[in-house]
Amino acid sequence: MLIYAAIAAFGFLVLLAMLVGGDVFGSDHEIGDHDGALEHGAGDAGGPSVFSVRIMSAFLTAFGVGGVVARYYDLSHPVAAGVGTLAGLVMSTAVYQFARVLYSQQASSDVHMTGLVGMTAEVTVAIPAGGLGQITVTYGGERSEHIARSADGMAVPRGTPVVVTALGGDSVTVSRAATSGGRS
């Protein structure tokens, strides 16, 4: 019974540490994320992984509790291990399904960046000749600010309406919007 209690305690302590220190140390990770065995982010498109620390810790906790309960009723070790495995599978499946629901509710700004091309924006920090400034654009009902550079390399003063013409790694490229009486 002691071994099952130790397994349950270990799983619970890992879950507790993730609850308390999750914001400090980051979010849930998969086993192998940083050792080259799996590429980081490889499973991000489909939601949470069954190999996440949170789900595996939930399995260990339920496995240990199931084993303790089975041994309390004087069941043999193989039967207790089976009960623990069944309890672990039920619990980890429930945690996994809950994580999938939460993951599906997340919003992502990655998809929206490509939609900026062709949008009209306003220069909020002047763009010097050959340098970087800042624009503000409203897209999808949300206002966002982006580092910007001029497509022609010329200076663009603050308040000038511009059109986003391209996306760069660290900035967007803009050209002056076609308006009458534009400032130079």
Asked whether 171 and 113 are in contact (CB, 8 A), the reply is: no
pTM for this entry: 0.51
Average pLDDT over residues 80-105: 92
Average of pLDDT values for 82-109? 87
| pLDDT tens readout for residues 118-157 | 889 999 999 999 899 999 998 777 888 999 999 999 999 9
Find out whether 39 and 30 touch, Cβ atoms under 8 Å: no
Name the superfamily (CATH) of residues 111-176. Nucleic acid-binding proteins (2.40.50.140)
DSSP 110: H
In angstroms, the CA 139 to CA 144 distance is 8
Q: Residue length, the chain?
A: 184
pLDDT in tens, 4-35: 999 999 999 998 998 887 645 545 554 554 44
Annotated domain spans of the chain: 2-104, 111-176
User: CA 148 → CA 38, 43, 97, 178, 181, distances in Å?
Assistant: 35, 32, 41, 18, 22
